Amino acid sequence: MAHNPLTCIILAAGKGSRMMSDKPKVMHEIAGRPMISWLLETVEQLRPDEIIVVSAPDIPELKETVAPHKIAIQTEQLGTGDAVRAAMSQMESTEGDVLILLGDAPLLSVYTLRRLIDTRHEDLDVGVSVLSVELEDPTSYGRLLTTEEDFVLGIIEDKDCTDEEREINICNTGAFCVDAAKIRGWLDNLVNDNAQMEFYITDIPHIAGEQGSRTKTYITHETDEVHGANTKADLAHLEQIVQSTLRQKAMMRGAVLLDPSSVYLSWDTKIGVDTVIEPHVFFGPNVNIDGHVHIKAFCHIEDANIETGSVIGPFARIRPGTQIKKNVKIGNFVEIKNATMHEGSKASHLGYIGDATVGAHTNFACGAITANYDGFAKHHTTIGENVMVGSNVNLVAPVTIGDGAFIAAGSTISKDIPADALAKERSEQEIHKGWAKDNREAQLAKKADTVKNKA
């Protein structure tokens, strides 16, 4: 079959004022990555000849996020139709299909987009296909005026609907596939005589119809795919949809989620077979967990690798740059950052290990910490194998502890310790026999005197 050129235009220049945010709408994150990246990943699977993202001027973070794809600048936000016009300046192809998508409706599937493209090719005179959905509550969506054979006579924006049209529940998802040879001519005919005084892409079916091309709709039943995010509440709804899919995928791949709805996954979280995730665990981006790991309840984990046999939590915080090797134990109220815990090492309770290397089978006892920051720079702590770091030890970095060393509880260590040495840094303990009893009796007598004097 001959290659049919495909250009994809993604509209992302809108002000997003309903989002009440300082951030461009499509840069808001779903499961840890920008909305626009979800859509780009899907669109890339269609292998289009080019992808053009329409942006408002001066949004460097959007340009960076969509690279290497092209950016077209829409100077003034005059509506979705005007945004497509802006993309035309960058579009090379004048044949085949142009897929027009909204950057704020990022969850469409490859399957649905293929059906939308196929729909445009059902009849020779179909110049436009539009993806629609039947919604119980169609409020805020554009409504489709359709025939029984799914041809579209027009699309009316919510704000322009008559009371009768508002009852229609076939809604415009915002995704269109149009004939590349004709789209420029249709765009020239857009006018902005509507409630929002904008140039609407939704006027294209009507204009195309006047020029002899029909519009057909593909009605999807996958309602979760087509939701748009105009407000923070919409964003939270999309997050729920994505989380539910990610949890299902994790379980299909062999992870055990004891209470799936309380586990927050990132778009790229990888969890191995038979790893158990207890309730209320949050994963930030870039976490890889082997099989047969146990993550206990209430852990927060970002940018970390955790190898098999390890047990983490409850209440552990694993921060970026952490490498946890095999059979490591990290217990409650332990924070680890930019550190490697080698095989069999343990930090079972109440500790901070930052910018450190902890050797195999070393024990980091309760309350021990690395003092890694001097107020200006971070410093590294290197701890050898089989070291006993006693309770409440402060390791003032930079410092190196040799293999097999023993650090007495309560010591503040600021000098290197050779292998197999005992390091103890405490002031001499004093014993004053009977002092506590004498003090107690004196205090009680004082109290009794005060009561007597008041009476």
Catalytic amino acids?
349
Asked if 104 is part of the footprint of Mg ion (rule: CB under 5 A), the reply reads yes
Tell the burial category of 25 from Cβ atoms under 10 Å away from its Cβ (0-12, 13-18, 19+).
buried
Q: Encoding tokens for residue 45?
A: 């699977």
Asked if 198 is part of the footprint of Mg ion (rule: CB under 5 A), the reply reads no
Cis, peptide link before residue 314, omega less than 30° from 0: yes
Asked if 112 is part of the footprint of ligand UD1 (rule: CB under 6 A), the reply reads no
Q: Which stretches of 228-272 are assigned E, i.e. beta strand?
A: 256-257, 270-271
Asked if 365 is part of the footprint of ligand UD1 (rule: CB under 6 A), the reply reads no
Name which of 74 and 370 has its Cβ closer to ligand UD1: 74
Q: How far is the CB of 243 from ligand UD1 (least distance, A)?
A: 21
Asked if 230 is part of the footprint of Mg ion (rule: CB under 5 A), the reply reads yes
Positions in 37-66 near Mg ion (CB under 5 A): none
User: At 88, which helix (H) or strand (E)?
Assistant: helix 80-88
Q: How far is the CB of 275 from ligand UD1 (least distance, A)?
A: 37
The count of chain residues that interact with Mg ion, using the rule CB under 5 A, is: 3
Positions in 154-173 near ligand UD1 (CB under 6 A): 157, 171-173
Contacts 24+ apart (CB under 8 A), 263-270: 264/31, 265/31, 266/31, 266/32, 266/33, 267/30, 267/31, 267/32, 267/33, 267/38, 267/242, 268/32, 268/33
Question: Which one of the spans 78-86, 108-116, 240-248, 373-381 is the region binding ligand UD1 (CB under 6 A)?
Answer: 78-86
Q: How far is the CB of 252 from Mg ion (least distance, A)?
A: 31
Q: Which of 38, 141, 176, 352 binds ligand UD1 (CB under 6 A)?
A: 141
CB 399 within 8 A of CB 358: no
Asked if 106 is part of the footprint of Mg ion (rule: CB under 5 A), the reply reads no
Tell the burial category of 368 from Cβ atoms under 10 Å away from its Cβ (0-12, 13-18, 19+).
buried
Query: What is the spatial distance between Cα 408 and Cα 453, in angstroms, rounded to a whole number?
Result: 50
User: At 84, which helix (H) or strand (E)?
Assistant: helix 80-88
Positions in 408-447 near ligand UD1 (CB under 6 A): none
Q: Encoding tokens for residue 363?
A: 């024990």
Name which of 12 and 311 has its Cβ closer to ligand UD1: 12
Q: How far is the CB of 219 from Mg ion (least distance, A)?
A: 19
Task: Show the site string, 227-246: x = touches ligand UD1 by CB under 6 A, - = not.
Answer: -x-x----------------
Query: What is the spatial distance between Cα 309 and Cα 30, in angstroms, rounded to a whole number?
Result: 31
Q: Which does 38 bind (CB under 5 to 8 A by kind): Mg ion, ligand UD1, none?
A: none
Q: Which of 11, 128, 242, 324 binds ligand UD1 (CB under 6 A)?
A: 11
User: At 38, which helix (H) or strand (E)?
Assistant: helix 35-44
Question: Which one of the spans 103-111, 141-149, 304-312, 447-455 is the region binding Mg ion (CB under 5 A)?
Answer: 103-111
Tell the burial category of 447 from Cβ atoms under 10 Å away from its Cβ (0-12, 13-18, 19+).
exposed
Residue found by looking up tokens 């990943």 in the block: 41
Give residues in contact with Mg ion (CB under 5 A): 104, 228, 230
Provide the binding-site residues for ligand UD1, judged by CB under 6 A: 11-14, 25-26, 54, 74, 77-80, 82-83, 102-105, 141-142, 157, 171-174, 200-202, 228, 230
